[in-house]
């Protein structure tokens, strides 16, 4: 059987995460180097990889935490009253993911399915997001604010698709003066959720 981890191990893991967070703070996600993390944490490289499957595994924890924090903010308060309000609620998430390609890539790679076991932080966050969206959509359907001819689950996954779409487009251009993802999302959601007249 598997024993409980020793205190030393927990401390090492915490130290690694703390250092990684600090580096991300200073240099952004794309500036994170494994060698820097272990150097500043005062451990060997192998140690990091005994705590996290690979670099993505470390990033997943950092990013997953942030996504969870964003979801907390999303969930707070009443559900959105209409499609526009729903769109607005998604803006913080788009802003966060839109800030660095690394985030987008990681989320896309590890969170595309609702089916997987939720041992990973990212997958858990993903499931939570879809669940929340589904709940909101159900409310909006009942209120007659959006189309009722489709399952809320399908509508929720469609929203996921549009979120990723606008982010993908966003990262494909030198985004200096272009429309930010949050703004680009509106027409898609409007067309997707529009009540069948």
Partner DNA sequence: TAGCTAAGTTGACCGCGGTCACTTTATTGA
Partner DNA sequence: TCAATAAAGTGACCGCGGTCAACTTAGCTA
Site string for a second copy, 39-58 (x = CB under 8 A): --------------------
Report the residue from 17, 20, 24, 32 that binds DNA according to the rule CB under 7 A: 32
Q: Is 47 in the site for DNA (CB under 7 A)?
A: yes
- For residue 76, the partner it binds in DNA, a second copy, none, with Cβ less than 5 to 8 A by kind, is none
Distance CA 56, CA 109 (A): 10
What's CA 18's distance to the chain center, in Å? 20
Q: Is 21 in the site for DNA (CB under 7 A)?
A: no
Which residues, numbered 114-153, are part of the site for a second copy (CB under 8 A)? 115-116, 149-150
Q: Shortest gap between Cβ of 49 and DNA (angstroms)?
A: 4
Neighbours of 117 (CB within 10 A): 7
Distance CA 120, CA 60 (A): 8
Q: Is 5 in the site for DNA (CB under 7 A)?
A: yes
Q: Is 161 in the site for a second copy (CB under 8 A)?
A: yes
Question: Is the CB of 17 or the CB of 130 nearer to a second copy?
Answer: 130
Q: Is 177 in the site for a second copy (CB under 8 A)?
A: no
Neighbours of 175 (CB within 10 A): 13
Distance CA 14, CA 28 (A): 19
Report the residue from 2, 119, 173, 176 that binds DNA according to the rule CB under 7 A: 2
List residues near DNA by CB under 7 A. 2-3, 5-9, 11-12, 32-35, 42-47, 49-51, 54-56
């Amino acid at each position: 059987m598997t024993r409980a981890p020793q205190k030393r191990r927990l401390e090492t893991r915490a130290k690694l995460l703390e250092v990684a967070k600090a580096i991300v703070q200073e240099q952004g996600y794309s500036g994170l180097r494994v060698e820097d993390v272990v150097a500043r944490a005062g451990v060997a490289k192998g140690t990091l990889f005994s705590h996290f499957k690979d670099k993505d595994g470390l990033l997943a924890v950092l990013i997953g935490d942030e996504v969870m924090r964003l979801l907390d903010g999303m969930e707070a308060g009443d559900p959105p009253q209409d499609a526009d309000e729903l769109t607005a609620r998604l803006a913080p998430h788009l802003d966060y993911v839109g800030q660095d390609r690394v985030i987008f890539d990681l989320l896309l790679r590890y969170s595309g399915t609702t089916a997987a076991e939720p041992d990973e932080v990212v997958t858990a966050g993903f499931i939570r997001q879809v669940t929340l969206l589904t709940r909101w959509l159900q409310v909006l359907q009942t209120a007659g604010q959006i189309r009722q001819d489709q399952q809320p689950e399908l509508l929720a996954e469609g929203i996921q698709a549009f979120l990723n779409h606008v982010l993908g487009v966003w990262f494909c251009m030198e985004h200096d003066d272009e429309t930010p993802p949050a703004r680009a999302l509106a027409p898609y959601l409007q067309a997707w959720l529009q009540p069948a007249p």
